[in-house]
Amino acid sequence: MNVGDTMSPSAAPSEQDEYRIIFLQSGSQEIWAQWVRGALRLPRIAIPSRTRPAEQLQLAIEDRWGLRSIVLEILRGNCDSSRCAVIEIPPQAPHNGMTATSIDAIAYADMTDDARRTVTEILLNHGLVRRPFSRLGWLDEAREWVQEAVGREVPLSKEVRQFNATGDFALLRLGTRDDAGYWLKATGEPNTHEFGITKLLAELCTAYIPPRIAAREDWNAWVMADAGEPPNSWTYPELEQAASTMASLQQRTIGHRDALLRAGAFDQRLGILRSHLGALFEYLDESMARQSSTKVPRIESRRLWGMASRIRDACLLMESLEIPDTLIHNDMNSSNVLLRGKACVFIDWCEAGLGNPFFTFQQLCLLEQRGREHWTLKLQDAYRRCWLDYLDSFRIDLAFVLAPPLAILSYLYGRGTWLRSPERNNPRIESQARALARHLERATRDQRFLEALCR
């Protein structure tokens, strides 16, 4: 399971973020520091921007100091300072020009009061009951858990690749001496529901997700066996395999509406999307009015509400096709599709919903569009064959025509909670919404789509 390309710790300085490093060891109340111009300062390291900090910090620390490490926390600094990374390393004597010292000896410029309190809590193991992955020694406990869950000797190697790290979230790969591996994933608020979704999928769709080895409710964590790699570049057979496998997975969830919703799937049935069109397009109208960039024109109110009318008609027409509601992924990107030989599995169900299966198919069609748009017709033929036991060709073909704008609507609506949250006024959220609105307008101008609405 590969969760994205890694970047070398030696990227250009202009593309790097600096972190102050707080090295901790189990059984010690001291941290490591360096003497700089007569003062004890935290060591610093730079990693590539816009990458996974936990992964890159691990790589950079090993490259610079030769230390195996695990990231326990990433703390924000002052408004004019870099972030702090709290790092656990194996017990050993300080080296590489560093010395062991108390937290109080570190200058305030390097550690804020909040950072000192957090590090002190970690060292004393106080107040961290609800943050299992900020504890010293949690990785050793996880290794023992995996060994016990597998039920046989698993010679775990010292290799641990960490991809996500906060007190409540974790994503890491535990290597083994025979090159197999196990993945541990844990989610906190607001993504705790992924635990329930993967548990249900392990029961309903065993062959279509990585083998789920064990789960711990107190950590909201589960362990998966390694199940393949995402494609570096899609071939058509691989994309067809993904589409056909997704159809099979979706069909396994037909009739499990209540179980999916109880497990945490977001309700994205067409009736729900249609009932929120007014609030959604009012938000888009307000966001367009606040647009300050002149690179692309605003979509004026008249055009927006004309689009809303067409989308409402499309929802009603799609509902009339009586396509069974299934699990939909709603975050379908290449990193979330793993291939191994003829096997294909899907990961990262955090945005999973209950809705029209053709929405996820539409996202699959967009995975490889660089000059290969002709693949879409072939993929539709493959997906059509998968659904002929449930739907006739007329309904399937009409669903293909209606799906492009409705899939964008589904993605834009997402969890729906953001429409009632202060986050709706976040400039980044507004910018993303305006961009999706432009994609939505282009999709609703498609001639086949307009002709379908006039039938």
Domain limits at 202? 138-225
For residue 296, what are the contacts with CB-CB under 8 A and spacing of at least 6?
A: 438
Per-residue tokens: 120? 């002190």
| Residue at a domain's end among 225, 253, 274 | 225
Query: 166 with 251, same domain?
Result: no
54, part of any domain: yes
Assess whether 251 and 375 both reside in one domain. Answer: yes
Q: Which two tokens stand for residue 207?
A: 């062959």
Q: Which residues pair with 88 in a beta bridge?
A: 24, 70
Report the predicted TM-score, pTM, of the whole model to 2 decimal places. Answer: 0.90
2 located within any domain: no
Q: What is the pLDDT along the chain (455 residues), one digit of tens a residue?
A: 433 333 333 444 458 999 999 999 988 999 999 999 889 999 999 999 989 999 999 999 999 999 999 999 998 765 556 789 999 999 999 988 999 999 999 988 888 888 999 999 899 876 555 589 999 999 999 989 988 888 766 777 778 999 988 889 999 999 887 777 899 999 999 999 999 999 999 999 999 999 999 999 999 999 999 999 999 899 999 999 999 999 999 999 999 999 999 999 999 999 999 999 999 999 999 999 999 988 999 999 999 999 999 999 999 999 999 999 999 999 999 999 999 998 999 999 999 999 999 999 999 999 976 667 789 999 999 999 999 999 999 999 999 999 999 999 999 999 999 998 998 999 999 999 999 999 999 999 999 999 999 97
CB atoms within 10 A of CB 58: 26
CA separation, residue 252 to residues 203, 236, 352, 389, 418 (Å): 10, 25, 15, 13, 30
Element (H, E) at 246: helix 236-252
The model's pLDDT over 323-374, given as tens digits with 9 standing for 90+, comes to 999 999 999 999 999 999 989 999 999 999 999 999 999 999 999 766 677 8
Q: Is residue 402 situated within a structural domain?
A: yes
Q: What span, in angstroms and rounded, lies between the C-alpha atoms of 402 and 365?
A: 14
How far is 246 from 344, CA to CA, in rounded Å? 9
Give me the CATH number covering residue 432. Answer: 3.90.1200.10
Contacts of 253 (CB under 8 A, 6+ apart): 204, 205, 260, 326, 327
Quick check: helix, strand or coil at residue 285?
helix
- Distance from C-alpha of 274 to C-alpha of 111, rounded to nearest angstrom: 50
CA angle 424, 194, 151 (to 5 degrees): 160
